Structure 1
Amino acid sequence: MKTQSQAADISMKSAAVIAGVSLLLMAVLAPVANFSILQILIVPDNAAETVNNITANIGAFRMAIVLFLAVAVLDIVVAWSLYIFLKPQNKSLSLLTGWLRVVYATIFLVAATHLINVLQLLSGADYLSAFTNSQLQTQAMLSITAFNQGWEFGLIIFGFHLLLLGYLLLKAGYMRKILGILILLAGLGYIIDGAGKILLPDYNLSISMFTFIGEVILIFWLLIAGRKLTVTQ
């Protein structure tokens, strides 16, 4: 017989849907913020043109920051819901998996503050008159670079999160083993890319661009099959 606290707890089916919806929203918001806004405004190795682009599209730049913050919050929601979803399989390992995603989300949030710093540099505040335009442009470009590098470092942690997640999916009798294997490959892709950029100055591969397919499949599995589970918690 369930106690009152147990009865009020969220079910695995609900956790699957929450995780799936959150991941789907992230899959839309993150590319919009990064590829449709930020990467269009940034001109590599040209701080002046980059700052001019941001100044001329300051509203879009602010929107990108808001979308990135929303993605970080959704990451925390996903960490919580996946913990509940996988808790019957292995409570302690599921908790560690969730915490790794929270750590990644925290690193990403800290990295995003560098974009807010760009807004401050371009605000035209009186105290900024001590800097020349060239210096302000260089500082803005350094902040954007710091954001990208912080995000890339966080993706290494995210890769380890996916390794544990893939392992749990492999062991769960209510999941397709191929999905666990694909998530493991996705995790390895992020780790290899992240470590490569740190260890090799000329690293220009992007393995994760080919191994992320498991993440996409997981979204739709959670939304379609996850809500139909009959596993006893």
Structure 2
Amino acid sequence: MSTFFTTRTATSQRPSKLDFRDWSPASASLISGLALLAMVVLMTAGYFGGVTPLITPGDATKTAQDISQSAPIYLAGVACIFLVILLDVPVAGAWYALFKNVNRRLSAAAAWMRVTFAGIFAIATSQLAYAYTLLDDPDRALHAIESFRTIWLISLGLFGLYLIAIGYLELRSTFVPKIFGILLAISGIGYITDALGVALVDGFTPMYGLFAIIGETSCIFWLLIKGRKLTIR
């Protein structure tokens, strides 16, 4: 009997592969790198390849017609965006595991920022799904699509704060090249600038977030090539 309970106790104390708090830096790097790469592919295919080509700004009738005629493509695009949102959660957990030894509180705060951003992004994306149900009323459908874009772009301000926090953690770490921390901080500032512009300036065209491509893409390569070989605890 004692052996049975001893075995159960040992088993229950064994780290779970699903518990991100137990992930090693190498595992956290690999998981986040693969998830981020998948997010890039899904967002490119879903939003830029599936949704955006069917939207004609200012022309509600044509937008509704194009979406109706290419409904499977539009819905697949929306589904891809929702998958991107789901992947934000393991990335948040993985980066917490990666940087918790640098600053546990800031790492936790950053993780919650990303999860919160994912929640707002989900609300925004639901507007795209809602627009599909309004195709018989083109003006309302286009308004829902425009609401998606506005909510998403403004929420990127929170994502920008997240990138600045991660950039700071990378600068403080001893295992990530400092250049990546600088690039992520610049990316974060770009997102915040775009968010403020959209929120406060009529007709503002977001452009500064484009700098994020450099910082975020370079981090993906580092995570998959160098990060997955980390041996620190």
Is TM-score (shorter-chain normalized) higher than 0.5?
A: yes
In structure 1, what is the equivalent of residue 44 of structure 2?
A: 31
SS in structure 2 at match of 1:121: coil
1:60 aligns with 2:76: no
Amino acid at match of 1:175: V
Structure 2 Cα separation of the partners of residues 116 and 203 of structure 1: 25
**5+ residue gaps in structure 2?**
1-9, 17-21
In structure 2, what is the equivalent of residue 177 of structure 1?
A: 178
1:121 aligns with 2:122: no
* CA offsets 1:139-194 (integer angstroms, 9 cap, x no match): 10011011111111111110000000000000001110011000000000000011
Amino acid at match of 1:61: Y
Is the 2:50–2:74 Cα contact (8 Å) retained in structure 1?
yes
* CA offsets 1:58-81 (integer angstroms, 9 cap, x no match): 001110111011000001110011
1:51 aligns with 2:64: yes
Distance change >3 Å, CA 205–CA 106, structure 1 → 2: closer
In structure 2, what is the equivalent of residue 216 of structure 1?
A: 217
Amino acid at match of 1:204: T
1:84 aligns with 2:97: yes
TM value normalised by structure 2: 0.90
Distance change >3 Å, CA 6–CA 97, structure 1 → 2: farther
Structure 1 Cα separation of the partners of residues 25 and 110 of structure 2: 16
**5+ residue gaps in structure 1?**
123-132
TM value normalised by structure 1: 0.90
**Of the candidates 44, 63, 72, which is equivalent to residue 85 of structure 2?**
72
1:194 aligns with 2:195: yes
1:160 aligns with 2:161: yes
Cα shift at 1:119:
2.1
SS in structure 2 at match of 1:65: helix
In structure 1, what is the equivalent of residue 3 of structure 2?
A: none
Cα shift at 1:118:
1.6
1:110 aligns with 2:123: yes
In structure 2, what is the equivalent of residue 130 of structure 1?
A: none
* CA offsets 1:29-71 (integer angstroms, 9 cap, x no match): 1111111111100001000000000000000111011101100
Q: How many matched pairs?
A: 218
Once the two structures are aligned, what percentage of the paired residues are identical?
A: 35
Structure 1 Cα separation of the partners of residues 15 and 78 of structure 2: 39
Distance change >3 Å, CA 116–CA 73, structure 1 → 2: same
Structure 2 Cα separation of the partners of residues 21 and 119 of structure 1: 31
Structure 2 Cα separation of the partners of residues 98 and 171 of structure 1: 17
SS in structure 2 at match of 1:203: coil
Structure 2 Cα separation of the partners of residues 184 and 210 of structure 1: 10
SS in structure 1 at match of 2:102: coil
